[in-house]
């Protein structure tokens, strides 16, 4: 596990919190529907910040941690695109007004970051105390990759979570939104608004995605700090990416294959790492398996970039062949 200077870790967390608060303040003071140009500039800014952070990590901690961050960030970013597709479904299902979507996504992402932070700390402790957990993480990622290819994964994620279904039955909720208010008065009686369900739906579905993505990043690095910062940088630009891609997500038909390749590759990498560091007494007498290779960070980076590039390129070729290059966002503006 890479040793990072404590001052660098603390300073990074302070800066990241400051960026998130500034972003939240901008959204709260100027709610609007972002244009494609504005969304593209923001996505470019957050990608640029992630690359600057990787350079800073290289300067203060060395090439290996910087490479692990880049591989982890690219993995999270790739898997977050699948997460983004579910955000589109949630916004559509609950008929969230366009002008509210920026604020809703921002709050949902903050909730997701808090939940993921807890999950990362738990995961780091499990890895420290029980090295065999890599076997479970690896098997889970391979199984998730198979589900991704079969399409079962997507079908499950489009269903309301248990918490949302329970709220619908137990809590008084209005049929319409009242701005960004969680509670409102209807016929003299206090009710919750659908915003409560939307935020819970986004938070809980993101946590389900974290069951895939966080073990995947732990397959690249065992540093909880690198895993957390990779998650933060991947999620920070997710809101703008939502508006930038619009209906294009549905047309990236081969994207799931690229994601499946990444999950399966990291799952196999985790199992190989577990075999190399084996401590299970019933396997090879509790000794490490010598023939199990350790896959380096550079190989992981290459596989991740290649999988997403091929999947995206093939999808764009398919779109051009089918004549469906326009995004849903563009069609909406044309209709308006």
* Residue 151 clears pLDDT 90, i.e. is over it: no
At 183 the three-state DSSP class reads: strand
pLDDT tens for 36-72 read 788 888 888 889 999 999 999 998 888 888 999 999 8
Q: Determine contact, residues 274/80, Cβ cutoff 8 Å.
A: no
Parse the chain into domains and list their residue ranges: 7-250
Q: Cα separation of 313 and 6, whole Å?
A: 41
* Residue 324 clears pLDDT 70, i.e. is over it: no
Q: Cα separation of 208 and 330, whole Å?
A: 31
How distant is the alpha carbon of residue 229 from its chain centre? 12
* Residue 301 clears pLDDT 60, i.e. is over it: yes
pLDDT for 22 equals 83
Looking at per-residue pLDDT, the higher value among 74 and 333 belongs to 74
Take residue 218 and report the two structure tokens written for it.
């732990």
Least confident of 14-23, 68-77, 264-273, 275-284: 275-284
From first CA to last CA, the distance across the chain in angstroms is 54
State the average pLDDT over residues 68-91.
Answer: 80
* Residue 277 clears pLDDT 90, i.e. is over it: no
Element (DSSP H or E) covering residue 140: helix 133-150
Q: Determine contact, residues 156/144, Cβ cutoff 8 Å.
A: no
pTM of this structure: 0.72
pLDDT tens for 241-260 read 877 776 566 677 788 888 88
pLDDT tens for 112-130 read 788 888 888 888 787 777 7
Share of residues in the chain with pLDDT > 90 (%): 4
């Amino acid at each position: 596990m890479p040793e990072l200077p404590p001052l660098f870790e603390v300073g990074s967390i302070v800066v990241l919190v400051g960026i998130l608060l500034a972003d939240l303040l901008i959204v709260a003071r100027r709610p609007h529907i972002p244009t494609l140009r504005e969304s593209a500039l923001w996505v470019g800014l957050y990608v640029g910040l992630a690359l600057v952070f990787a350079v800073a990590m290289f300067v203060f901690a060395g090439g290996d941690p910087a490479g692990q961050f880049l591989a982890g960030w690219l993995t999270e970013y790739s898997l977050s695109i699948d997460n983004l597709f579910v955000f589109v479904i949630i916004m559509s299902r609950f008929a969230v007004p366009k002008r509210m979507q920026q604020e809703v996504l921002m709050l949902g992402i903050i909730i997701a970051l808090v939940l993921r932070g807890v999950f990362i700390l738990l995961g780091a402790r499990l890895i420290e105390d029980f090295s065999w957990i890599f076997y479970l993480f690896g098997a889970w990622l391979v199984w998730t990759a198979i589900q991704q290819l079969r399409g079962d994964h997507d079908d499950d994620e489009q269903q309301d979570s248990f918490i949302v279904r329970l709220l619908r039955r137990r809590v008084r909720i209005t049929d319409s939104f009242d701005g960004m208010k969680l509670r409102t008065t209807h016929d003299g009686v206090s009710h919750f608004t659908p915003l409560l369900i939307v935020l819970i739906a986004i938070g809980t579905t993101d946590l389900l995605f974290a069951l895939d993505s966080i073990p995947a990043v732990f397959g690249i690095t065992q540093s909880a700090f690198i895993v957390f910062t990779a998650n933060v940088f991947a999620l920070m630009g997710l809101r703008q990416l939502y508006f930038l891609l619009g209906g294009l997500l549905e047309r990236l038909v081969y994207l799931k294959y690229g994601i499946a390749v990444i999950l399966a590759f990291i799952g196999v990498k985790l199992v190989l790492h577990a075999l190399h560091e084996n401590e299970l007494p019933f396997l090879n007498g509790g000794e490490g398996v010598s023939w199990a290779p350790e896959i380096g960070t550079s190989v992981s980076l290459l596989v991740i970039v290649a999988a997403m590039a091929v999947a995206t390129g093939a999808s764009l070729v398919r779109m051009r062949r089918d004549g469906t290059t326009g995004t849903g966002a563009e069609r909406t503006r044309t209709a308006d």
